[in-house]
Structure 1
Amino acid sequence: MHRIARRKKPPSPVRVITVGFSLLIVLGTLLLCLPFATRSGQSAGPVTALFTATSATCVTGLVVEDTYLFWSPFGQAVILLLIQVGGLGFMMAAAGFSFVVRRRITLRERLLLGQSLSVEEMSGIVRLARGILVGTFAIEAMGAVILAIRFARDFGLRGGIVKGIWTSVSAFCNAGFDLMGETGAFSSMAKYLGDPAVTLTISLLIILGGLGFYVWSDLVTCPKNRRYRLHTSLVLATTGILLLAGTLGFLAFEWNNPQTLGDKSVFDRIMAAVFHSSSVRTAGFDQMGQAGLTSASRALTILLMFIGGSPGSTAGGIKTTTLAVLVLTAVAPYRGRNQASAFGRTIAQKSVTDALSVLVTGLFLVICSSFLVSWADKLPFETAVYECVSGFATVGLSLGVTPTLSVFSKLVLVLLMFTGRVGVMTIGAAALFRSSGEGRIKEPEGRVMVG
């Protein structure tokens, strides 16, 4: 008998995405280790390069060295490229290259695109990808023009253009990296507190980047006589509620705080609260200084960071839809219903299970990591939680301890940033589970008393 050769099964989309992000981080680390990547001409340490490459690729914004003062123009260009590719996703970047060279996108590549965009429908995926790329660069270009005009007043024409482009890309990709080091190391956007042009432009870029490409598509293509998809409705409603609640909360908690907003005008206080509420969930740009926040504001910041942005976007966190599904599930019994529902539609049980899994896994990772960082660096637990939630949610806000962390704690944050960007469900599926029919097995039902 002839032995029949069995074709090797190709890796699953989730594994391809996980490996792809890993290779991108490795490439970025190697480039940032080059001597001419720093202003001093001396090679950055491998840990510094790895941490920065991971933070940029995972669009986090946590840094151990000031981006403007430490990295050379070459190093800054590498970081910006990692932010752009990491924000869009490496599969979107690959699709963009295919569009440029007019190469046909294969069926497998379409499946990978759908997985990276959190889209289950494969019909029209190439058209969606092309629209996302065009929309992304158009929005970033408009933001860059507005910011460049404003920054040119402070940094000259060339400096304004460079900082405008950098800030626009970083804001839309929810990265939080900045080139404002010449106004003070790690100063972020403190110079522009209350400035409406900078505050509103960056806030809008952050919000648009955090909505998710799937929501964009629905908003653009949905006819006036048809309702939005349930996903879009939940994202828009939850995002609006969180933005409003965050703004009002920070205004209330920081109104009389002399270390942040206490000595500012009413207009500047409102602008700063809007900016912080927009930035704190995903981006990590800072105007007020995190170390001076009240305890209540820090707690609110941790909560908003942990929630993050929306699925299929440039943001991290457990996602707005996870929060919405869990809240709706929690209130369903009080509404006399067995299943969660919203906007006239019932939420699938699988969505509820996935949301609970994301929440529990996220809490587990953050709590365990916080214990490790607090123990390794002798930090107050609140400070460790702040850093770890910021890393997991790919936000980038810090109480100022990131540069002083030990190598061990930095590596913990590297793993958190990677997990937060790729997604706990994606990594779990890639590392622990096989694609099989096990999910279709239904065992005998049993009831458990709760509450």
Structure 2
Amino acid sequence: MKNFKDNLNPSKILVLGFVIIIIVGAILLSLPIATEDGKGLAFLDALFTSTSATCVTGLVVVDTGDTFSMFGEIVILILIQLGGIGFMTFATFLFTILGKKISLKERLLLKEAFNASSTSGIVKLVKRILVFALLTEGIGALILGIRFSFEMPIGQAIYYGIFHSISLFNNAGFDLMGDFRGLTGYVNDPTVVLTVCMLIVIGGLGFIVINELYEYRETRKVSLHTKVVLLTTVILILGATIFIYLFEYGNDKTLGPLSVVEKGLAALFHGVTPRTAGANTLSMGELTHATLFLTIFLMFIGGGSGSTAGGIKVTTFAVLMATVLSQLKGKQDVVLFKRRIVIDTILKVLTVVISGIMVVVIVTFLLSITEKGHEFIMYLFEATSAFGTVGLSIGLTPELSAIGRILIIITMFIGRLGPLTLGFAIANRKKQEGFQHPKGNIMIG
């Protein structure tokens, strides 16, 4: 037992922790008390839902609002919170309340969970993260609760406000509106659209970024990481909003019937939600292929490192683009904000991107075999949504076979933890070799 514990590095503990939470959640969701009809959910469906909630994805094989009782919905909400902010965040907070000292191994685990550069000040950061998350979710719940109170009883409105605020801040995308319709009823509602966009963006920036912005009053400086995250996020949101507005402007089934301002709100919402919240105010199945392809691109990128979002992350995308531009310009160094990016970071970026592409390609290929009778873009969309832990679907999820559901479960798990984390959990970290092989040249291009 001691040897087993000694072999558990931070990456392995994170993987094991997520597995335990998913299994416990699946067992609870399969209980009769968890469903409206009192019959319980088939275990595979419960496992799918538990994985989707813990990995803050939002893909569902059964409608959340129509299928689950309040007990089941609360279980889902707890899984979302644990998966989004991180079970180690809550454990650390509990340990500090009980006066327990946080060990070095636990600090290393927190560093791994939040993708921090060092363990210095990590416990203080975790406390601040939890307070900030609960405060942001509380504000979102208040605004949404007040808005929902105009069309439903106050008790239900408060509950809906809390559920959707937690779900969307954690970029999960679960909703209680019923009939798989998402937030389509609020496509032209500025209160709901702007509040949800705020929750998604803040949750997807990354807790390191949020902490640096909070401390800016004192430090008057931000790191290269924060600058890259903020700039890339703004560019992606603005670019996506403009393109979606143009692609869907004349589509009578999406933006067509809306006014100019409402078109802008709907385009903004769909420009934000693929990174990686999974909520929707437009019918996903009615979007043009151009918009669907753009959505796939955004889902693959995702949000910020150490955030509630998934994908390869905006910093990965930014460094990749900077590397390509540097090579095209014939420059030796990759530079962002007058800072040279070291080769180890570039190699890690290439590993993450290629690993992500391989996962999406393999899952898309397998889905095209197991789930027949659909357009190819549906398989690609579903695989990317699962890998990016987005939760958007154009109708394939509820129709998945048992094998298809297992494939998506595995993909969501890989997407949430990241290919690198899973790889490090399975294998040891790279070791310095005592020799170097001779150099070799290969023709490229």
Q: Normalising by the residue count of structure 2, what TM-score does the alignment of the two structures yield?
A: 0.97
In the other structure, the counterpart of 2:333 is: 339
2:176 pairs, out of 166, 174, 179, with 179
State how 1:48-447 maps to structure 2 within 5 Å.
48-181=45-178, 185-222=179-216, 226-378=220-372, 379-431=374-426, 433-435=427-429, 437-438=431-432, 442-447=436-441
- C-alpha offsets along residues 189-222 of structure 1, whole Å, 9 cap, x if unaligned? 0111121110000001000000001111211223
- C-alpha offsets along residues 223-265 of structure 1, whole Å, 9 cap, x if unaligned? 5775421111111111010000110010000001001010111
1:440 Cα deviation after fit: 8.2
In the other structure, the counterpart of 1:19 is: 16
Q: Which amino acid is the alignment partner of residue 397 of structure 1? A: L
Return the alpha-carbon distance in structure 2 between the equivalents of residues 112 and 89 of structure 1. 11
Return the alpha-carbon distance in structure 2 between the equivalents of residues 289 and 343 of structure 1. 39
Q: Which amino acid is the alignment partner of residue 448 of structure 1? A: I
1:277 Cα deviation after fit: 0.8
1:333 Cα deviation after fit: 2.8
1:281 Cα deviation after fit: 1.8
Secondary structure class of the residue paired with 1:332? helix
Return the alpha-carbon distance in structure 2 between the equivalents of residues 140 and 340 of structure 1. 38
Q: Which amino acid is the alignment partner of residue 58 of structure 2? A: G
1:445 Cα deviation after fit: 3.1
402-411 vs 104-113, which deviates more? 104-113
Return the alpha-carbon distance in structure 1 between the equivalents of residues 248 and 23 of structure 2. 41
Secondary structure class of the residue paired with 1:68? helix
Q: Which amino acid is the alignment partner of residue 424 of structure 2? A: A
- C-alpha offsets along residues 77-115 of structure 1, whole Å, 9 cap, x if unaligned? 000000000001121121122233332211111110010
Secondary structure class of the residue paired with 2:432? helix
Cα gap change, 1:45/1:160 in structure 2, threshold over 3 Å: closer, same or farther?
same
Q: Are 1:250 and 1:297, in contact at CA under 8 Å, matched by a contact in 2? A: yes
Q: Are 1:371 and 1:381, in contact at CA under 8 Å, matched by a contact in 2? A: no
- C-alpha offsets along residues 132-183 of structure 1, whole Å, 9 cap, x if unaligned? 00100011101110010001111120111000000100110000001111xx
1:423 Cα deviation after fit: 0.8
For structure 2, the residue ranges without an aligned partner over 5 or more in a row are none
- C-alpha offsets along residues 298-349 of structure 1, whole Å, 9 cap, x if unaligned? 1101100111111100001111111101100011134442121110101111
Cα gap change, 1:6/1:415 in structure 2, threshold over 3 Å: closer, same or farther?
closer
- C-alpha offsets along residues 386-422 of structure 1, whole Å, 9 cap, x if unaligned? 1110001000000112111100000000000000001
1:448 Cα deviation after fit: 2.7
Cα gap change, 1:430/1:263 in structure 2, threshold over 3 Å: closer, same or farther?
same
Return the alpha-carbon distance in structure 2 between the equivalents of residues 55 and 279 of structure 1. 16
Q: Which amino acid is the alignment partner of residue 392 of structure 1? A: F
Return the alpha-carbon distance in structure 2 between the equivalents of residues 78 and 441 of structure 1. 53
1:443 Cα deviation after fit: 3.7
Q: Are 1:58 and 1:421, in contact at CA under 8 Å, matched by a contact in 2? A: yes
Return the alpha-carbon distance in structure 1 between the equivalents of residues 212 and 191 of structure 2. 29
Q: Are 1:190 and 1:288, in contact at CA under 8 Å, matched by a contact in 2? A: yes
- C-alpha offsets along residues 423-447 of structure 1, whole Å, 9 cap, x if unaligned? 110001111x213523786543333
Q: Which amino acid is the alignment partner of residue 212 of structure 1? A: G
Cα gap change, 1:440/1:320 in structure 2, threshold over 3 Å: closer, same or farther?
farther
CA RMSD of aligned residues (A): 1.6
Return the alpha-carbon distance in structure 2 between the equivalents of residues 424 and 101 of structure 1. 35
Cα gap change, 1:440/1:112 in structure 2, threshold over 3 Å: closer, same or farther?
farther
1:34 is aligned to 2:28: no
Q: Which amino acid is the alignment partner of residue 162 of structure 2? A: I
- C-alpha offsets along residues 347-380 of structure 1, whole Å, 9 cap, x if unaligned? 1111111111111111111111111111111132
Return the alpha-carbon distance in structure 1 between the equivalents of residues 296 and 197 of structure 2. 19
Return the alpha-carbon distance in structure 2 between the equivalents of residues 331 and 226 of structure 1. 30
